[in-house]
Amino acid sequence: MKDADEPGPFVKRQKSNFSHSFPAHSSQGSSRGNTFDNLRKAKQALPIFPARRTLINQIRRLASAIVIGETGSGKTTQIPQYLLESEVNKSSMIAITQPRRVAAITVAQRVAQEMGSTVGGIVGYCVRFEDVTAVNTKLKFMTDGMLLREAILDPHLTRYSIVMLDEAHERTIHTDVLFGVVKAAQRHRLKTGQPQLKIVVMSATMDVDHFSKYFNNAPVLYLEGRQFPIQVMHVKEPQSDYLFAALVTLFQIHKEAPAGEDVLIFLTGQEEIDSAVRSILDLSRDLNDFPKLQVYPLYAALPSHEQIKVFNKTLPGHRKVVVATNIAETSITIHGIKYVIDSGMVKAKVYHPLSGLDLLKVVTASRAQVLQRTGRAGREAPGICYRLFTEAQFKAMDVNTVPEIQRCNLASVVLQLMAMGISDVLSFDFMNKPAPESIKAALEELVLLGALERQPDSEMLKLTPVGKKMAAFPLDPRFSKVILLAKDFGCLEEILSIVSILSVDSVLLNSSKKRLQAGQAHEKFKSSEGDHIMLLNIYRAYKNVNGNRNWCYENYIVARNMNTAQQVRRQLREICVRQQLEISSCGRETTTIRRCLAVGFFMNAAELSKDGEFMTLTTRRQVSIHPSSCLFQHKPACVVYTELVKTSKTYMRTLSVVDPDWLMEAAPAYFRRKRASAIT
Ligand code: CDP
Ligand code: MG
C-alpha cells in the first residue's frame, strides 16, 4: 500500500469547497431504540407525507402508476402502508418486490415496527429459502425472484390486488420478466372480469417514458424530494488504480473535515471492500490528531446483522466511513453522509451467448448510476461528490444501465416462463428484448438438460415432465438437473449437501491475515477427487460435531454460512419429498457423486490438452484451475466445473475430476456434433 499522504488525484481542491457549519446530523431512522411515537413523528416528517392523500387517490383511480421519488423519501416503507390504511387493496394482499434480499428483509422489519407489530404477521417477507408470512399477512415484501416463482403456480397472481415493483430501475432479470408477467396477469384479469390487478412501479430514477409506454401509458407521479446542492469534483487524469485513489481521497477529506461529516465510498465487491476497510483501519491507526473512524463495509452478501451497523450513530468526535457496493445507491439509506467518493465502477453480470459464458465482471457504471451515487451526498445538507474518473470519462458512460436480461444466461428464466405456460418465449412481451441468440442458447441448453423437447412435426418446444420437476427448485437448471439425476444414481443425500453449500456464500474462511493458518486447517478436508467432494467432507465433519461453533472457529469454517447451508438443504430436501424423489445415499463411495455431477454438468467440462492447458469441451476456450481449488496443483485429464470467473485469465472454480467416458455417455449426440464441428 502506498502512503496516503501522497498528493491526491484531485489537483485543485480549495478549502472553500467545504462547509463546516453543518451540525452533526441526527440518526433519525435508526431502527433501534425508537418508540412507536417517535416512529410516527419520523413517518410524518418524511418528504412523502404531504403527498399522502393525492397518492392514495391517484393509485385508487389508476390501473397502473409509476412513482418517482428520491431515495429516502418514503416510497418503499410508506406507500404500502398508505394503501393498506385506506383499503385500496380491498382486503387482498399487496406484494412489494425488491431486487435484493436484504432490502426485502430490512424494509419488512421497519414497516412492521412502524405498524406496531413484528414481521410474520400483517407484514411479512419472502425471500429464497425463507418465508416469514402468515395467513393474515397483507403487506408482503419479497424478492422479485420469489414473486416470479409464485407466478409458476398462479400466473394471474390471484392472491394479490396490488403488485408494487420497487427499484424498477435496477432492471434485474427477475424484475424484467415480472414486468411482462404482471402486465399479462392484469390484462387477463380485466378480460375475464376478475378483480383488478393494480401495478405500481417505483424508482428513484429511471427512463420514465419507456416505462410509462410499456405499462399502457401509465401516469407518472413525481414526489417532491429533499435535495441539497452537491458539488461534483472530477479527477484531472484517468486513474489507473481507483482503489488507491479512493483511499487517498478519503484521507484528504478526513484530515480537513470536522468530525461527524461522514463519507460513503462506492466500490464494486466483497473482497475489494473488505480489503479497503482493512487498509483504512491500518492507515488511520497513526492519525491521532484527527477524528476517530468508524468504518463499515456494506454489500449484499454481508449478513443482515452486520449490514445494520451502517445505521449506527456516529459517535461524538468520530467520522463514519461506509464502503459499499451499488447497494447504497438506492436500496439502503444511510444518514449523515456528506461526502461521496465514487469509483465509477460496478460489478455486473456479462454473458456471451456464443461461448455460453456467464461472468461477473467489474465494468464501468452507467451515468444514471453515477448520478444516483452523487445524490447520496446531498440528502441532509449540501455535500461534495468526488468522482475518481474524469469528466470526459463521465460523458463517455452509457446513459442507462443495460438491463440484466440483455447480459446474462437466460436458462433459468426461460424454464420458469415455460413452466408458467408461456411457450413462445421469443415473442414474450419483454420491456427490452434480450438478444434472440441468448434465448435460443437458453432453449438449447434446456433441451440438452432434458427439460424441453421438440414437438413432433413442429419447431415448438414443450416442457417435459423432467423440466416441470426442475422448475420446482429455486436453483440454476443445471443444479436442479443434478438433484434429479442424484435420485437415479442413488446419491441424493450427498448431492443435496453439495448443492446447498454451493447455494450460500463461501463456507471457507479466507481472510488475508490468516490465509496460511486457514489453508492448513482446510488441508484435511481436501480430496484428490476435487472441490465438490471437499465440500461434502466439510459438510459431513460439520454434521459430526453437530455444527459446533468452536469447531468451525478452529477449522476456519464460516459457521454462519454453514448454518444457512443447512437450512437451504432442509428446504431442498422438502421439495424432493414433495416431488416424490427417493432420498438415497451412496455412503462412503464417492465415484457415484462425480458421475452424477459429470452427467448434470457435461456442458461445463474441460480437458487437459497436450500443452498442459485446459480447454473447455464445448467452446474450446482456454481455462485454468482457480488457485482456491484443491486441484490447483494437480493436472487431471478431465474435469467438470460449476463456475467460471474471469480476472486476468478465465478460471474454473469448484471442480471435480471426471472420466471422459461419463461425459460421452451423458450426451453422446451432443459430443459427436461438437467433435464434428471442431474438425470441420
Ligand atoms: O423507498 P425510499 O427510498 O423512498 O424510502 P424508504 O425506504 O421508504 O425510507 C424512508 C425512510 O425510512 C428512510 O429515510 C429512513 O429514515 C427510514 N428507514 C429506516 O430507518 N430503516 C429502514 N430499514 C428503512 C427505512
Ligand atoms: Mg425504496
Residues 257 and 391 in one domain: yes
Residue 608: exposure state from Cβ atoms within 10 A (0-12, 13-18, ≥19): middle
Residues 492 and 450 in one domain: no
pLDDT of residue 355: 58
Among the bound ligands, name the one nearest to the CA of residue 79: 1
Q: Ligand 2 centroid to 43 CA: how many Å?
A: 14
Q: Ligand 1 centroid to 243 CA: how many Å?
A: 29
Does the C-beta of 181 come closer than 6 Å to ligand 1?
no
Residue owning the nearest CA to atom 10 of ligand 1: 74
Residues with CB under 5 A from ligand 2 (ion): 75-76
Q: Which of 333, 334, 337, 372 to mutate to test ligand 1, by most ligand atoms within 8 A of the CB atom?
A: 333
pLDDT band at residue 672 under the 50/70/90 scheme: confident
- In three-state form (DSSP H/G/I as H, E/B as E, the rest C), the secondary structure along 409-446 is CCHHHHHHHHHCCCCCHHHCCCCCCCCHHHHHHHHHHH
Looking at the structure of the chain, the number of domains it has is: 5
Q: Is residue 113 part of a domain?
A: yes
Condensed to tens digits (0 to 9), the pLDDT of residues 430-451 reads 999 999 999 999 999 999 999 9
pLDDT of residue 22: 23
pLDDT of residue 257: 95
Residue owning the nearest CA to atom 24 of ligand 1: 107
Condensed to tens digits (0 to 9), the pLDDT of residues 248-269 reads 999 999 999 999 999 999 999 8
Count of residues in the chain: 680
For the CA of 28, the closest atom of ligand 1 is 16
Condensed to tens digits (0 to 9), the pLDDT of residues 118-151 reads 999 999 999 988 899 999 999 999 999 999 999 9
Q: Can you tell me whether residue 240 is helix, strand or coil?
A: coil
Among the bound ligands, name the one nearest to the CA of residue 334: 1
Q: Is residue 337 part of a domain?
A: yes
Condensed to tens digits (0 to 9), the pLDDT of residues 142-151 reads 999 999 999 9
Is the pLDDT at 14 greater than 50? The verdict is: no
Condensed to tens digits (0 to 9), the pLDDT of residues 355-397 reads 566 677 889 999 999 999 998 998 888 999 999 999 999 999 9
Is the pLDDT at 187 greater than 90? The verdict is: yes
pLDDT band at residue 21 under the 50/70/90 scheme: very low
pLDDT of residue 535: 97
User: What amino acid is encoded at 502 in this protein?
Assistant: L
Is the pLDDT at 679 greater than 60? The verdict is: no
pLDDT of residue 288: 84
Residue owning the nearest CA to atom 15 of ligand 1: 29
Residues 251 and 348 in one domain: yes
Q: Ligand 1 centroid to 74 CA: how many Å?
A: 6
pLDDT of residue 3: 37
Q: Ligand 2 centroid to 564 CA: how many Å?
A: 27
The domain containing residue 320 runs over which residues?
232-404
Q: Is residue 594 part of a domain?
A: no
Q: Ligand 1 centroid to 439 CA: how many Å?
A: 37
pLDDT of residue 511: 65
Q: Is residue 442 part of a domain?
A: yes
Does the C-beta of 113 come closer than 6 Å to ligand 1?
no
Condensed to tens digits (0 to 9), the pLDDT of residues 23-66 reads 222 333 444 445 788 889 989 989 899 999 999 999 999 999 99
Residues 182 and 275 in one domain: no
Q: Ligand 1 centroid to 535 CA: how many Å?
A: 39
Is the pLDDT at 532 greater than 90? The verdict is: yes
Residues 357 and 421 in one domain: no
Of the given ranges (497-511, 559-573, 629-643), which has the lowest mean pLDDT?
Answer: 497-511
Q: Is residue 476 part of a domain?
A: yes
Among the bound ligands, name the one nearest to the CA of residue 71: 1
Q: Is residue 129 part of a domain?
A: yes
Does the C-beta of 74 come closer than 6 Å to ligand 1?
yes
Residue bearing the bigger pLDDT, 20 or 337: 337
Q: Can you tell me whether residue 478 is helix, strand or coil?
A: helix
Does the C-beta of 269 come closer than 6 Å to ligand 1?
no
Q: Can you tell me whether residue 586 is helix, strand or coil?
A: coil
pLDDT of residue 506: 85
pLDDT of residue 357: 61
Does the C-beta of 81 come closer than 6 Å to ligand 1?
no
Percentage of residues in the chain having pLDDT higher than 70: 92
Residue owning the nearest CA to atom 20 of ligand 1: 29
pLDDT band at residue 571 under the 50/70/90 scheme: very high
User: What amino acid is encoded at 60 in this protein?
Assistant: R
Is the pLDDT at 281 greater than 80? The verdict is: yes
Residues 433 and 319 in one domain: no
Residues 246 and 358 in one domain: yes
Residues 162 and 214 in one domain: yes
Across the range 401-426, mean pLDDT stands at 91
In this structure, is the dihedral angle defined by the CA atoms of residues 47, 50, 54 and 60, taken in order, positive or negative? positive
Residues 572 and 611 in one domain: no
Q: Which of 34, 110, 380 to mutate to test ligand 1, by most ligand atoms within 8 A of the CB atom?
A: 110
Q: Are 616 and 605 in contact (CB under 8 A)?
A: yes
- Among 553, 583, 613, which residue terminates a domain? 583
Residues 44 and 165 in one domain: yes
Residue bearing the bigger pLDDT, 246 or 288: 246
pLDDT of residue 623: 94
In this structure, is the dihedral angle defined by the CA atoms of residues 237, 239, 243 and 244, taken in order, positive or negative? negative
pLDDT band at residue 77 under the 50/70/90 scheme: very high
Alpha carbons 542 and 529: distance in angstroms, whole number: 20
350, containing H or E segment? strand 345-352
Global confidence as pTM: 0.84
Residues 195 and 329 in one domain: no
DSSP 508: B
343, containing H or E segment? none
Q: Which CATH number fits the domain that encloses residue 368? A: 3.40.50.300
Q: Is residue 20 part of a domain?
A: no
User: What amino acid is encoded at 100 in this protein?
Assistant: R
pLDDT band at residue 6 under the 50/70/90 scheme: very low
Of 156-160, 333-337, 409-413, which has the strongest mean pLDDT? 156-160
Q: What is the mean pLDDT of the chain?
A: 89
For the CA of 109, the closest atom of ligand 1 is 23
Q: Is residue 28 part of a domain?
A: no
pLDDT of residue 382: 93
pLDDT band at residue 600 under the 50/70/90 scheme: very high
pLDDT of residue 386: 98
Helix, strand, coil shares of the chain, percent, nearest 5, are: 45, 20, 40
Residues 386 and 423 in one domain: no
Is the pLDDT at 7 greater than 60? The verdict is: no
What is the full DSSP assignment across 139-207?
EEEEEHHHHHHHHHH-TT-TTEEEEEE-SGGG--HHHHHHHHHHHHHHHHHHHTTPPP-EEEEEESS--
Across the range 107-111, mean pLDDT stands at 94
Question: How many helices (H) and strands (E) in the chain?
Answer: 25, 23
